[in-house]
Structure 1
Amino acid sequence: MATQDLCRGSRAGTMMAIYRRGLFASRPVRAGERVLEISLDLMIAPSDLPGELSTVLSSTVKPWTKLALIVLMERYKGQAKLQSSAWAPYISCLPEPAELDNTFLWEDTELSYLRASPLYGKTRERLEMITTEFGQVQNALDVWPQLFGKVSLEDFKHVYATVFSRSLAIGEDSTLVMIPMLDFFNHNATSFAKLSFNGLLNYAVVTADRDYAENDQIWINYGDLSNAELALDYGFAVPENPYDEGSKTTSWFSCVPGSSTANRDA
């Protein structure tokens, strides 16, 4: 993995207090240099769900839900000290529930601050969708406690937040995958660096869009996302977001106790 010699992870307080995690250059990096290269066989895809589970799930179960089930299984393996997979180091680095701040995880009293914003309705819609998906897989969760442990709707909401903010479609068939290490890059709306996928060689790559000095944080751009979209899908908002088009989402988001206008738990 190219990241191993270019970047190192950092938690809150080690480099920049407003970021819980990020990737920082361990040596100078030049614009155009690859800072991440991940092979397809290291990515987590819905097809990695065990066959016995796939056969009992409804055909309407969404790909992200299957990814959520995989993450739940991997986490339970770690908690129960069962045999772990090659993804264990990555899964162990995913954020804990208390570190997630997506609006659909807020308490009703917190969410009421957004009642005048379109984000309120979108959050309610997302909650309804997550609840529906949980209902579709609840039987599998109940039948195989040895795979998942005990999973509540709240647990499922948190793993949904983890998966949805860390999965993306790749390839001609738009396969939804989680790419280890990619999600440790923090978002910068001014960055031109984005993930690209080489379908011929089957690997994903991120190329630096600027020069970085040693210890600089390396950024990518999650997309042309408004603060409402960032708050819903990633759990943060950014000041002076160029994609907000005059929206007041940042001021609504920042006035809620405990919310974050800095950046997400990458």
Structure 2
Amino acid sequence: MTRSQDPKQAFSAWLRANGAHLDSLAFKQSADGAQSRGTGVFTNSSVTLHESIPLASVPATLLVSMDLVLQAAKEGTSDSARRLASCMNGASRALAAPQTSGPGWERTTLLIFLLWGYASLVRGEEASTACGDDKQRLDATFWAPYIRILPDIGEIDTPVLWTDNAALAGLEGTELAAGVKAKRSALLREFEKLRPHLNLLDAGGGDIFTPERFAWADAVFWSRVLGLGQALREFGGQPNASSDYHLIPLVDFCNHSPDANIRWHISEDQSHVVELRSTPTKGDAPLEVPADSELFISYGDRPNAEFLFIHGFVLPDNPANVLKLSVPFLENRFLNSDEEPQEDPTLEDDDAVRTAALNSLAVKTALLKDLGIRGMLTLAQPQYPVSDSDELPDPTTIVDPTFGMLSQRAACAMAVAVLTPQDGVERTEAGKYVIGGHELRETTVPALRAALETLPHWEVLRLRVWAVLLEIVNYKLCALYEGEETWRENRDDGASAPASAARIAKVQMFREGQKTMLLAACQLLQGLQERWAELDVVCSFLSEMQN
């Protein structure tokens, strides 16, 4: 590869020279209207897609994983491999366990790989034109065509890398505002810890790595990585494969579409080739695709918050949009409040109240952890039944009165969160959980649900859930409207640069999706609260409490 050679053509040639098959494909600039999608995968001639026939393939020798990086550091003999070994040794010492094992360490090694390749490219080291054997794969210059075609800092349009204040201000009032700030702070702390060791990757001895470059590597990783480990262990004949995260040159340039026409697939033989094949079609009929058509894979059914945060795009009217919120334990209202605690006649003093709250919170969090529920809940868009009638069924008569907004797991987590000391949630010395005096037979969601339903005031508990959720949703809705008003007042719509205008349009679409979700949740929860407040059992219970 020469510096004057087109990066896309050089990348294609490199793939072919090293065993990849992509005869019908080319890499071209992709766009959705005025919004750039970066480099995409296109047909260079008309093709017929068959689900059982690979359209393209990437050999196992071109898959980038932690195993490759560790092998290069251990067995590589080039100067760049020795620099990598020094960096890896230093990084493993700088990071305390558990950061040197599991998914976190896999991510770190792949970030180091990307920065290793970047440093080699910056210093002008050229890749060999010969086919890659194991020794060549262990040298940074081998990967230069891949590193060179990756989007640079200014081409990755994710909020963590934005310098556009107008777009960043548009995130205020949404769940991403705090997420972006937290991510930036975490990356900066991580970079400062690794910086002395990353600098060992630079043959020039200079300081070419910046916080922005480290954030670039993180963005490249998260927007491209695929979890192949489980598939390799189950279908690829590699029962001892230790790496899960993989970067796959060629496959990772496929853009997303809800109407994807191709998918990635691991070959069933021992070659462990990653293939691109047609998505299933009706009756297994072949799919005719004209020349110069972009091919898309699916990144999965994900909400716009995730798409924007990781990939830098949003989908209009995304049916997978959700709201995420922390489990609202009642105990936190006291523990996190600066206000004077309300008197509890069953407890002697404030210290006792705090101790009781901490103990109750510990039992609840342990219970949810054992159920596989870790701190966050997801509210989906309600799916109302299609009917000729405009009226919905009475929610008190159906299994799921939220129409899919709350999964059974989320509903149980909410019920646990709003249990009071009077409701009785305890843990025995034997580690068993007790709800309302009834010991759980097993720590499962169905068993918990059954125990909750035996409570004489189960419907009161559900009313409590609707009320707490409605309060949270209303708070988020107010924050969204306030953020919108502030954004509108201070935004310079002279964001005349096309990139800025497109980014602001993206943010606006994201905000509208959040607003739609919150309004739908608010309407549903208001109706549920009003209906449950009318139930005789609820009215009787509340009347007894007042007396």
User: How does the TM-score come out when normalised to structure 2?
Assistant: 0.43
1:87 paired with 2:143, answer yes
CA distance in structure 1 between the aligned counterparts of 2:48 and 2:179, rounded to whole angstroms = 40
Counterpart of 2:107, as a letter, is W
Post-superposition offset of 1:106: 2.1
Tell me, yes or no, if the aligned pair for 1:189 and 1:241 is still in contact at 8 Å. no
1:221 paired with 2:298, answer yes
Post-superposition offset of 1:54: 2.4
What is the match of residue 243 of structure 1? 320
Tell me, yes or no, if the aligned pair for 1:2 and 1:35 is still in contact at 8 Å. no
Tell me, yes or no, if the aligned pair for 1:161 and 1:233 is still in contact at 8 Å. yes
In the alignment, which of 72, 75, 79 is matched to residue 118 of structure 2?
Answer: 75
In the alignment, which of 18, 21, 25 is matched to residue 43 of structure 2?
Answer: 25
Tell me, yes or no, if the aligned pair for 1:76 and 1:148 is still in contact at 8 Å. no
1:151 paired with 2:170, answer no
Give the secondary structure class of the aligned counterpart of 1:218: strand
Tell me, yes or no, if the aligned pair for 1:167 and 1:176 is still in contact at 8 Å. yes
What is the match of residue 164 of structure 1? 222
CA displacement 1:90-142 (0-9 Å, x = unmatched)? 11110111111111112383322112111222223322332233233212023
CA distance in structure 2 between the aligned counterparts of 1:194 and 1:147, rounded to whole angstroms = 41
CA displacement 1:147-203 (0-9 Å, x = unmatched)? 785201111111211122111221234521110011211100232643233474312
Assess, with a 3 A threshold, how the Cα gap between structure 1 residues 143 and 23 changes in structure 2: closer, same or farther.
closer
- In the alignment, structure 2 segments of 5+ residues that lack a partner are 1-18, 75-84, 128-140, 234-241, 282-286, 323-380, 382-476, 485-490, 508-547
CA distance in structure 1 between the aligned counterparts of 2:185 and 2:64, rounded to whole angstroms = 26
Tell me, yes or no, if the aligned pair for 2:30 and 2:40 is still in contact at 8 Å. no
What is the match of residue 106 of structure 2? 63
In the alignment, which of 229, 247, 251 is matched to residue 182 of structure 1?
Answer: 251
CA distance in structure 1 between the aligned counterparts of 2:55 and 2:260, rounded to whole angstroms = 14
CA displacement 1:222-253 (0-9 Å, x = unmatched)? 1111111011111111222221255x99xx8x
Q: Which moved more, 1:115-124 or 1:178-187?
A: 115-124
Structure-to-structure mapping, 1:88-237, within 5 angstroms: 88-107=144-163, 109=165, 110-146=167-203, 149=206, 150-171=208-229, 172=233, 173-191=242-260, 193-198=262-267, 200-209=270-279, 211=287, 212-237=289-314
Query: Which one has a bigger Cα radius of gyration?
Result: 2
Post-superposition offset of 1:5: 0.8
Counterpart of 2:27, as a letter, is G
CA distance in structure 2 between the aligned counterparts of 1:167 and 1:147, rounded to whole angstroms = 29
In the alignment, which of 42, 46, 49 is matched to residue 62 of structure 2?
Answer: 42
Which structure has more relative contact order (CA 8 Å, sep 6+)? It is 1
Assess, with a 3 A threshold, how the Cα gap between structure 1 residues 147 and 196 changes in structure 2: closer, same or farther.
farther
Computed over aligned residues only, the root mean square deviation of the Cα atoms, in angstroms, reads: 3.1
Counterpart of 2:121, as a letter, is G
Assess, with a 3 A threshold, how the Cα gap between structure 1 residues 67 and 73 changes in structure 2: closer, same or farther.
same
Counterpart of 1:201, as a letter, is S
- In the alignment, structure 1 segments of 5+ residues that lack a partner are none
Tell me, yes or no, if the aligned pair for 1:63 and 1:176 is still in contact at 8 Å. yes
Counterpart of 2:277, as a letter, is T
CA distance in structure 1 between the aligned counterparts of 2:204 and 2:223, rounded to whole angstroms = 24
Q: Percent identity?
A: 21
